[in-house]
Structure 1
Amino acid sequence: MRVTTRTGSSPLPPTRRAAGLFAALALGAALLAGCSSEGASTDCGLDACTVTFDRGVDAKANILGIEAKLIGAQGDQVTVEVAGEQVSLTMGQQAAEVGGFAVTLDSVTDQEVKIRVARNAGG
């Protein structure tokens, strides 16, 4: 009987290579988004996220390395906590500066509150 020992590794079959590439891409996308939420949904890019909070629940989201939380809403004014700082936002106002982020109120309804959180260019 003859035993052959190979040095180096044999190439992976194309299906295993494709599966590994797909898994790496999925993991990369998840890390890039870096979002999680409770009572909210997020839509994130590299430097900005839109967070839609459900009203009437303890709604929060972890985005861009910080937490955003809905504190309260009344009429067209909402209070949110972003990066540990509370800020009141009104429909139509310019972005509020909070901990190196620009926060704006996109919409308020009876069911949800939508804000946009973006990294400041210098922060």
Structure 2
Amino acid sequence: MTNRSLAGKTPPTTTRLTGLLAGLALGAALLAGCSSEGASTDCGLDACTVTFDRGVDARANILGVEARLVETQDDVATIEVGGEQLSLTVGQQAADVGGLAVTLDSVTDSEVKVRIARNGG
């Protein structure tokens, strides 16, 4: 009978668990890769909903571009996405900007909610 020592070796279960945790941490970092000022974001892999606060310089960096609330008037919001300005109304078909589909979800007295998605996502 051979008596083997496990000294210096990591058990396979520990290695798999470490890999799983590292993968989960990387996924969370990718989803949290957005930043905002005067706005909140709710992002998935291919789309983000950005809720801009009205009355402040509101902007968010999501999906590799900056989105900024320029102005609102009644139910029309002017949004700048990736340097291009769009005037959108609630219910309007998505506008295409550099491979992104931009939709105005809602406008209230206190906030403007916009959905920005990769085309096809």
Q: TM-score range by the shorter chain?
A: 0.7 to 0.9
Residue number in structure 2 paired with 1:78: 77
Extract structure 1 runs of 4+ deviating beyond 3 A: 17-24
Deviation at 1:19, TM superposition (A): 7.8
Q: TM-score, normalised by structure 1?
A: 0.79
Note the residue ranges of structure 1 that are not aligned, 5 or more in a row.
1-7
- Give the secondary structure class of the aligned counterpart of 1:42: strand
Are residues 1:93 and 2:92 paired?
A: yes
- Take 2:45 and 2:23, find their aligned partners in 1: how far apart are those partners? 18
Q: How does 1:38-53 map to 2 (within 5 A)?
A: 38-53=37-52
Aligned position for 2:3: none
Superposition TM-score, scaled by structure 2 size? 0.80
Paired residue total: 115
Query: After the TM superposition, which residues 30-45 of structure 1 pair with which residues of structure 2 at under 5 Å, given as runs?
Result: 30-45=29-44
Distance of 1:115 and 1:63 partners within structure 2: 12
The one-character-per-residue Cα deviations of 1:53-96 (angstroms, maximum 9, x if unpaired) are 00111111111111111001110000000011110001111111
Q: CA RMSD in A?
A: 2.6
